[in-house]
Amino acid sequence: MTKTSESAPLSVAMVTLGCARNEVDSEELAGRLEAGGFRLVDDPADADTVVVNTCGFVEAAKKDSVDTLLEAADLKVEHGGRAQAVVAVGCLAERYGHELASSLPEADAVLGFDDYPDIAARLRSIVAGEQHQAHTPQDRRLLLPITPVERSLSDAAVPGHASGPASVRRRLDAGPTAALKLASGCDRRCTFCAIPSFRGAFVSRRPTDVVAEARWLAEQGARELFLVSENSTSYGKDLGDIRLLETLLPELAAVEGVARVRVSYLQPAETRPGLIEAIATTPGVVPYFDLSFQHASASVLRRMRRFGDPDSFLGLLEQVRALAPTAGVRSNVIVGFPGETEEEFATLCDFLVAARMDVTGVFGYSDEDGTEAAGFEGKLDDDEIRARTEHVSTLVEELNAQRAEERIGEQVEVLVESVDAGEIVGRAAHQGPEVDGTTMLLDAPEARVGDIVAAVVVATDGVDLIAEVARQ
């Protein structure tokens, strides 16, 4: 291990905000830092330097990121903290660069994605007092060829895509579920979304790298692989095979030690019958469909530069449930998009009632810097957006609870995630990590974290389930 002096190596704490894709990026950064001579610690108060992997998705996430950076900066002077440097990385840092650095002097440096390959050297110089010049943000889609199949020739930094996982990734969470990145970036041009501008154009990881990392994660104790990207339905298009995910899923499910594989973020307009069949029927792959509908009105979707309508979306759900009647379905919707009429709003509500989804995330529309929709006319006032958001939130809370109640009597396979003072909690196959509810197991005294337990649902609490162990 490389040391900067005769004393102990510099310690570093990683603080991760945002989505599962960020979790993968943090673990890659942690691996690079450990390989570069840093000692990883869990508590920022015990660290020489704190790296905050920020989220830049929506306004609330940006605020959380700034607040977390300020809290980390306080450790330098309060509570006996030892931090010598606080560094911002991640989406907020990449998206705003020098603007964030100028407005947040409490952070000692703001690093972009291009700094990731040399993160250890960057941090060491920052701790030594050297000034780091924050980058000027650019549209990262322009760093890659327009033609997808030519992108493999680019040397642009793509977080989470390093090969040789055992040397570049270090697990920060010992839980039985691990995120595994399929791809990064997005080629779609949704008018409300800024993510492609700072995450870049769509780039698939090579299947050999994905499978190798899956094996490594299984060796580290992962029982469920959570496949993440900005658009999993596009996986393989830049590698010359748009149906590559269908052939990859059985390989991942066959990895020794892996009990189940879950796919996240499917673009409805690209969700083809073969992919539905692969997710619904491949042994070891859970029938779970994370479908990003965003709205149901065809006219609103066109303004979003997306495609679909209630009939096509309900038809898609019919295909799913014909193959897997108990499949889990989750989605997100945006309420109050510019120009949304009462009729279009009613179309969304009617669709949600008919769709019978397990979980629905509801977001009130807000302008995002650099997006096309920020310049649209017909903006609804904040009070109207808030009222519509509250209405839909109340509606889906009731609908999702009803869907959970429909599962009473259903047999489920529960991955145990925590055992605390006799309370055993995990997730059934239809429940994704963090956001889709949990299942509490009754009468399972021998269950351990990582076990898969067959149980029968006997009660619900909102979207959460209560289940008894199935008796032979």
Give binding residues as ranges: 19, 55, 91, 186, 190, 193
Per 3-state DSSP, the chain is made up of helix, strand and coil in percentages (nearest 5) of 40, 20, 40
**472 alpha-carbon distance from chain centroid:** 37
Asked whether the beta carbons of 427 and 259 are under 8 A apart, the reply is: no
CA trace torsion 242, 246, 247, 248 (10° rounding): 90
Annotated binding site for [4Fe-4S] cluster: 19, 55, 91, 186, 190, 193
Distance CA(240)–CA(243), nearest Å, equals: 9
Q: How far apart are CA 399 and CA 376, in angstroms?
A: 32
Which residue pairs from 267-271 have beta carbons closer than 8 angstroms and sit at least 24 positions apart in sequence?
Answer: 267/188, 267/231, 267/233, 267/234, 267/292, 268/292, 268/293, 268/307, 268/308, 268/312, 268/313, 268/316, 269/306, 269/307, 269/308, 270/231, 270/233, 270/234, 271/233, 271/316
Count the residues in the chain. Answer: 472
Amino acid sitting at position 433: P
Contact 14, 49 (CB under 8 A): no
Query: Which residues, 6+ apart, have CB-to-CB distance to 318 below 8 Å?
Result: none
Instruction: List beta partners, residue 290.
Output: 330
